[in-house]
Amino acid sequence: MARKTISGKFGTAPVFFTAISTILGAILFLRFGFAVGTLGFWGVIAIIILGHLVTIPTALAISEIASNKRVEGGGEYFIISRSFGLNIGATIGIALFLSQAISVAFYVIAFTESFQFFFEYVEKVYEINLPRQAISLPSILILGMVILIKGANLGVKALYFVVAILFISLGLFFAGNGDAAANSDFSFLNVDFRNSNDFFLVFAIIFPAFTGITAGVGLSGDLKNPSKSIPIGTIAAAFFGMIIYFFISYKLSVSASPEELVNNQFVMGNIAIEGSWIIPLGLAASTISSALGSIMVAPRTLQALASDNAFPSKKLNKWLAHGRNNDNEPINSSIITLIIAIAFISLGNVNSVAEIISMFFMLTYGALCLISFLNHFGSSPSYRPSYNSKWYLSLLGFIISLWVMFKINTFYAMLAFIIMTSLYFYINSYHKKRKGFVSIFSNAIFQLNRNLQVFLQRKRRKRAYHEWRPSAICISKSTFERNMALTLLNWISYKYGFGTYLHRIEGYYSKATREQAEDELLRINKIIRKTGSHVYLDTIISPSYTSAIAQSIQIPGIAGMENNMVIFEFDKDKPGNLEHIVDNFALVNAGNFDVLILATSKRNVNYKNGIHIWISSSDSSNANLMILLGFIILGHPDWKKTDIRIFDVCPPDLEAESRIKMKDLIKSGRLPVTSNNIEIIPQDHDLSTKKLVNDKSGDAGLVILGFHEDSVKKGDTFNGFDKTGTILFVNSHNDKVIE
């Protein structure tokens, strides 16, 4: 669905005032005195610092991302969805919208507390105990009608008015003196840190005050210059709010006793000049401005979600994304926001919901910090923000966000992750085509892989001993006729090794062959996607088999280690390709590679019949590699519940010795081979090895045989195994150690 764009009309001030009015809101007037009284001055300072270790890195991260490219409607949702992909973005965006919508209810309920005098008057004069909804429900309806009729433009104008009242009330608070001020002996040196065990309980109560830091970002679609207004407005609000909270902590500490701070939620009214009416007025101004900010931001998040088809119904997406023609005001999304807010206001108390809502905010902040960190780590040339944060600040914000979630409430933290995970899988179920992690993860993985490869290369020469593991490369132009070589690579690379499969395009490099290579690579990817392959795929364009091999064996290993194994393959029934393999063996052998030659059969692999390995006393140099390969291949799920059988052909006089050596090797090497699966065969000169293999391994899933360099030129080395299925011929460049 195309997103309707209306030129922005707001500057930086609405971003700042929306954020600061939410920061200096309900929590400040109703709960901050309780925090100071419970923990003491230094305890609250620790809460402010910890809270801003989350919010300031988030503010810096948002500022950085917003200055890299235009942030369209949806604010935080837009940033997250364009960084992590639309499905993950929608998952976090829906939770973010619900948090913003319920925040409207929270602020309106807090606004109702400023009418405490009215409720007391009615109860005293008329003996009627009015429910809080008598004020909160009409308030949200009036607020909603104002926004629906006049839109965000009037909301911003009202925001200026109520913020002015907020600042006046704070000014009178700082100018006033409480009863305890004259007798106060407050000193920074003698103030204690009380009730440390309640630190995170109090933090959970106070933290919603800091969540306003990103409130102004939701106006992104209505800003003239988001890349300028968001950084300036958000960072200014973050630091200004932190400084104000430091001064308020000090003022409360010197102006009231701990008992009064804990037991009187309107303690600021006892301190401020004309506090009996100015503090309730300031509370009303701060909460209504916070509610205004949330009721402007939440519908824009929902509208952006619907514009990206986040919901399963096309009609619902179209209806929610609809904006008023002249200003794109999200009327329908505003209606849904109001319905949610009214529902929670009707309950009368959202305290039980507040903690888990904070969890979703923390998840959002953590995601924003992670985006900034990954962009730094990914080092994409396209990431050129005009404002730069520091990667370590973004990483710190991400880590602290997760840590604080679990410290506040482990159950709610786990519940939040479960809800988000379930929501992601649900969205993924009807948006399968757009799943995946866009470029931010690709860049980060690229940088990680690059740094690891450089590190491994530097360390490689310093190590006296190299633990062997296969890093195999295979070149074939017969991928679409037979894919057994690709299957073998997948067996090898599934758990213990790494495989690179190069599909050869015969010809010279040109535009036509390059396009052919791209098309055929896509076809191969579609084939192996169904099998869960762990093989790295690519193509190579070359006029001859020899040149293709020469090119391939010189390329660096994709896994950060040099390729040490080359795999050839041919069709047992049509061994025309075998001649090319024989001709190029010397070329590969010059590179000190282990060489595997796969003779594929039309017979399906019968996995339950296991892997048969044939070794002999005259082929000891290949024996360990063959056994190791059998063990490695057995690690793939295809070979689950099967086993390895080893056949050792030896001279008759060495039968007992060979049996002992083989059992010792299996035991010391901790290989999954039982004594019953080891068969020592005395060599009979009248009976060839090929006949033995045909007789005993005709039904095997895979047969592994060794061969020597000097036997390659013999035409019959790889032929004559007509009764068997697929055979893997192995030539080890050097002895492998089985420890």
pLDDT over threshold 90, residue 237:
no
Q: Is residue 421, in this structure, part of any structural domain at all?
A: yes
Q: Are residues 124 and 27 in the same domain?
A: yes
| pTM of full prediction above 0.75 | no
Name the more confident of 442 and 651. Answer: 651
Highest mean pLDDT among 495-499, 680-684, 703-707 belongs to 703-707
pLDDT over threshold 50, residue 464:
no
pLDDT over threshold 80, residue 45:
yes
pLDDT at 2: 44
Q: Which domain holds residue 489?
A: 469-569
Rounded alpha-carbon distances, angstroms, from residue 393 to 81, 229, 291, 366, 713: 22, 21, 30, 12, 64
Q: Is residue 445, in this structure, part of any structural domain at all?
A: no
649: tokens are: 């052909």
pLDDT digits (tens, 9 = 90+) for 83-98: 777 888 888 888 888 8
The CATH number that applies at residue 186 is 1.20.1740.10
Q: Are 82 and 89 in contact (CB under 8 A)?
A: yes
Domain final residue, candidates 548, 569, 590: 569
pLDDT at 5: 46
pLDDT at 705: 92
Q: How far apart are CA 220 and CA 91, in angstroms?
A: 20
Q: What is the mean pLDDT of the chain?
A: 81
10: DSSP letter: B
Count of residues for the chain?
A: 739
Q: Are residues 353 and 489 in the same domain?
A: no
pLDDT over threshold 70, residue 458:
no
Q: Are residues 152 and 76 in the same domain?
A: yes
pLDDT at 396: 93
Q: Are residues 257 and 381 in the same domain?
A: yes
688: tokens are: 């060839």
403: tokens are: 């840590």
Q: Is residue 576, in this structure, part of any structural domain at all?
A: no
Q: Are residues 429 and 379 in the same domain?
A: yes
Q: pLDDT confidence of 188, banded at 50, 70, 90?
A: low
pLDDT over threshold 80, residue 227:
no
CB contact set of 643 (below 8 Å; sequence gap of 6+): 610, 611, 634, 672, 673, 674, 677
Q: How far apart are CA 97 and CA 705, in angstroms?
A: 63
Q: Is residue 460, in this structure, part of any structural domain at all?
A: no
Name the more confident of 235 and 348. Answer: 235
Q: Is residue 6, in this structure, part of any structural domain at all?
A: no
**CB-side exposure of 312: number of CA atoms within 13 Å?**
9
Instruction: Give the number of other CB atoms < 10 A from CB of residue 4.
Output: 15
Q: How many domains does the chain have?
A: 3
Q: How far apart are CA 467 and CA 438, in angstroms?
A: 35
Q: Is residue 232, in this structure, part of any structural domain at all?
A: yes
Rounded alpha-carbon distances, angstroms, from residue 330 to 113, 151, 300, 345, 708: 30, 9, 6, 22, 76
The CATH number that applies at residue 621 is 3.40.50.620
- DSSP per-residue string spanning 38-51: HHHHHHHHHHHHHH
- Own/partner long-range contacts of 464-469 (Cβ < 8 Å, ≥24 apart): 468/564, 468/628, 468/736, 468/737, 469/496, 469/497, 469/498, 469/561
Q: How far apart are CA 289 and CA 277, in angstroms?
A: 18
Name the more confident of 346 and 318. Answer: 318
Helix (H, G, I), strand (E, B) or coil at 414: helix
- DSSP per-residue string spanning 655-705: HHHHHHHHHHHHHHTT-S--GGGEEEEE--TTS-HHHHHHHHSTT-SEEEE
Q: Is residue 98, in this structure, part of any structural domain at all?
A: yes
Q: Are residues 482 and 614 in the same domain?
A: no
Q: Are residues 97 and 230 in the same domain?
A: yes
Q: Are residues 79 and 162 in the same domain?
A: yes
Parallel, antiparallel or unpaired: strands 594-600 and 727-731: antiparallel
Q: pLDDT confidence of 675, banded at 50, 70, 90?
A: confident
Q: How far apart are CA 672 and CA 658, in angstroms?
A: 19
Q: Are residues 664 and 538 in the same domain?
A: no
Query: Can you tell me the mean pLDDT for 727-738?
Result: 83
Q: pLDDT confidence of 652, banded at 50, 70, 90?
A: confident
Which has the minimum average pLDDT: 118-132, 169-183, 393-407? 169-183
Q: Are residues 73 and 136 in the same domain?
A: yes
pLDDT over threshold 50, residue 623:
yes
Q: Are residues 306 and 414 in the same domain?
A: yes
pLDDT at 519: 92
Query: Can you tell me the mean pLDDT for 403-411?
Result: 85
DSSP-assigned beta bridge partners for residue 727: 599, 703
Domain final residue, candidates 551, 569, 587: 569
Which has the minimum average pLDDT: 194-198, 413-417, 514-518, 617-621? 617-621
Q: Is residue 236, in this structure, part of any structural domain at all?
A: yes
Domain final residue, candidates 518, 546, 569: 569
Q: How far apart are CA 50 and CA 56, in angstroms?
A: 10
Q: Are residues 223 and 354 in the same domain?
A: yes
Question: 483-522 burial by CB neighbour count: b if 16+ within 10 A, else e?
Answer: bbbbbbbbbbbbebbbbbbbbbbeeeeeeebeebbeebbe
Dihedral angle sign, alpha carbons of residues 268, 271, 272, 275: positive
Sort 705 into a burial class: Cβ within 10 Å, 0-12 / 13-18 / 19+.
buried
